[in-house]
Structure 1
Amino acid sequence: MWGEDSFITQYEYGQMLYNTPRGIGCVHCHGAHGEGAKIATYKEDGKRVELRGPDIRKVSIGTLKKSLVKRHRIMPTYFLTDSEIEALYYYLHTPQESE
């Protein structure tokens, strides 16, 4: 699927999916490259609480697939195909190309 005659590379496809998969992108909660990001700050019982998206750079492909198909309290369900999840995984686990 990702040969020399491809319109975009697997990295570029994964990056595109990461930034805008379907609706809100992974980038908003998991950071520019999966390192995790602040989602919101709020007060609970008088204490400041920070809600953060987890670092997903070192998760396995199996863990990523399981996480993307199950329902979460906060994270949307994206209904990605196996090849889309594999492209996301490739993007997260490949040294960054020139952007």
Structure 2
Amino acid sequence: MRSVVVLFLPFVLFAKSSFITPLEYSSSLYKNPRGIGCYHCHGEKGEGKLVAKYMHKKEKKSFIGPAINSLSYDKFKKALNTPKQGMPRYYLTKDEIKALYFYLQQMKIDDEK
């Protein structure tokens, strides 16, 4: 089922002719959606990433961007639209959210090859 969705999604997102491919568009959106790229906290392929280690009240802490490449589309969309401490608010359109999800799914498929 996931393969059908991933294969069909580019046609839905890019029904109009475009000068870039769906993967190029979604990749550029992931790397710089509104000034701060998703990859800085979530890793190049959404696998999650240690962002910083710091001390708070003499206690060692870590700020970790969670993995987002295994979320269902509904959970992914909800996570983007639910304010969280440390997560910038991007105000993405429905098509931009679909494109970001498409990118993460493509990265997962590429890793499985």
- TM-score interval w.r.t. the shorter chain? 0.7 to 0.9
Q: Please tell me the residue identity of whatever aligns with 2:60.
A: R
Whether 1:59 aligns to 2:71 is yes
Report the RMSD for the aligned CA atoms in angstroms: 1.8
Which of 79, 90, 95 is the equivalent residue of 1:83? Answer: 95
SS in 2 for 1:93: helix
Q: TM-score, normalised by structure 2?
A: 0.76
Separation (CA, whole Å) in 2 of partners of 1:66 and 1:3: 25
Which deviates further from its counterpart, 43-52 or 70-79? 43-52
- Show CA shifts across 1:34-78 (max 9, x none): 011111101235342221100111101111111111211110110
- Name the counterpart of 2:7: none
Whether 1:32 aligns to 2:44 is yes
Query: Is the helix fraction higher in 1 or 2?
Result: 2
Q: Percent identity?
A: 44
Separation (CA, whole Å) in 1 of partners of 2:80 and 2:71: 12
Which aligned segments of 4 or more residues in structure 1 are displaced greater than 3 angstroms? 44-47
Question: Tell me, which stretches of 5 or more residues in structure 1 are unaligned?
Answer: none
- Show CA shifts across 1:16-51 (max 9, x none): 111000011101000011011111101235342221
Question: Tell me, which stretches of 5 or more residues in structure 2 are unaligned?
Answer: 1-12
